[in-house]
Amino acid sequence: MTVIVFWLAIIIVAYTFFGYGLILYLLVKLKKLFLPTEEAENPNFFPNVSLVVPCFNESDIIGSKVENSLSLDYPQQKLEIIFITDGSTDAFREVLAGYPQVKLLHEDRRAGKTAAENRSMEIIKTPIVIFTDANTLLNPEAIRNIVRHFQFENVGCVSGEKRVLMEAMEEASAAGEGMYWKYESFLKKLDSQLYSAVGAAGELVAFRSSLYEPLPEDTILDDFMQSLLIASKGYKIVYEPEAYAMETASDSIEEELKRKVRISAGGWQSMQRLLFKITPIKNPVLFFQYLSHRVLRWTITPFLLILIFFLNLLLWPQGWVYQFLMTAQVLFYLAAFLGYLLENKKIKVKVLFIPFYFCLMNYAVIAGLIRFLRGAQKSTWEKAKRRQS
């Protein structure tokens, strides 16, 4: 029985992190082979769009964000720019006063990003709304590349790409974050090509306004919840890598861990609330993608890694295969620990970034579960400490 559980756990872990990506790649290739036709796009499709920027005490950077927003390559008369600064106590008014093209929404109550987005939707009249973070800069063609997908009625949400800016000499937290998002972007692209992306990045995400659902104010991952609720109704989430939001990496491993734990707590909350929304009966393809890309990674996989380690100790006497696997695990975790030790010394050893960040992510899932069960994760956002570019 121990042997069966051990190998089953290994198969699930391998599938979660590598197998799903391989199967997804093959399925997309088969789809293109047998269903090669694509609908023609209208190059003159320029609907009215609202670009909403929720922020909290970010007066030091919102000037750059406004300049970036005003420079986007989209007809100005069709683009409404809204900054919503609920709860902010800094000099945001003085900064935004210099930009009469920008609409400001503010109330003193600080209820979090979800509450702010819900409130912004009460005044939005455009058919498409795009949310983006204040600490990101968009590429000039971002709006055009996002909006073009909405000419197809089955598209309800479009997710842009998050890109992490890295310098030549980076710590493990920054390099690990960058490599993680590159792999995530690869999976999102394949998900979108097969059927639908499984969630959207809050750094840059667009919704069909008519499909937006006001979310409970305690929602932690508003972008993920909103996009999956839309997908659960039969609409597709398109991933558009040529619309991207650029931001610097987390300032330190502590900041990155804090962010990961928050995301993990939000993942547990989201899975609970989506339990009966995405099912194999209602939408089998979306369920397969959701289970493979999100649920396994956010639930049992970190615990299976621990189980594999201890079962391997028990199986050590049963031959060289188990001894080899045990040795490989020990070396991997030693490399992760060494990566942790070198992280704050700014010593660049790229081979250690992957095991270190991998362990960080899986630890965050367990810590996120504890925080979710305790109800200790707040939905109000804090200004993240990012590296200075």
208-248, pLDDT tens digit by residue?
999 999 999 999 999 999 999 999 999 999 999 999 998 87
> Which residues lie below 8 Å from residue 131, measured CB to CB, with a gap of 6+?
52, 53, 54, 117, 202, 204, 205, 206, 207, 223
Euclidean distance between CA atoms 207 and 303, whole angstroms: 35
pLDDT of residue 341: 81
- What does the pLDDT read at residue 382? 58
Q: Name the one residue in this structure whose structure tokens are 């989430």.
A: 237
Candidates 214, 261, 211; CA nearest to 361 is 261
pLDDT on residue 376: 64
Q: Looking at the predicted structure, is the pLDDT value of residue 169 above 60?
A: no
Q: How confident is the model at residue 377 (pLDDT cuts 50, 70, 90)?
A: low
pLDDT at 347: 61
Q: Rounded mean pLDDT of 242-258?
A: 80
Q: What is the pLDDT of residue 168?
A: 44
E strand or H helix at 53? strand 49-54
* 50-52-55 Cα angle (round to 5): 170
The CA distance from 254 to 241, in Å, is 29
Which residues sit opposite 132 in a β-bridge? 204
Q: How many Cβ atoms from other residues are within 10 Å of residue 241's Cβ?
A: 15
In this structure, what token pair is assigned to residue 147?
Answer: 């909006």
At 171, the pLDDT band (50, 70, 90 cuts) reads low
Residue 52 · residue 82 · CB < 8 Å: yes
Hey, which residues does 239 pair with through a beta bridge?
159
How many other C-beta atoms lie within 10 A of the C-beta of residue 5?
A: 13
- pLDDT score, position 11: 97
Q: Are 136 and 246 in contact (CB under 8 A)?
A: yes
pLDDT tens digit string along 328-347?
999 999 999 888 887 766 66
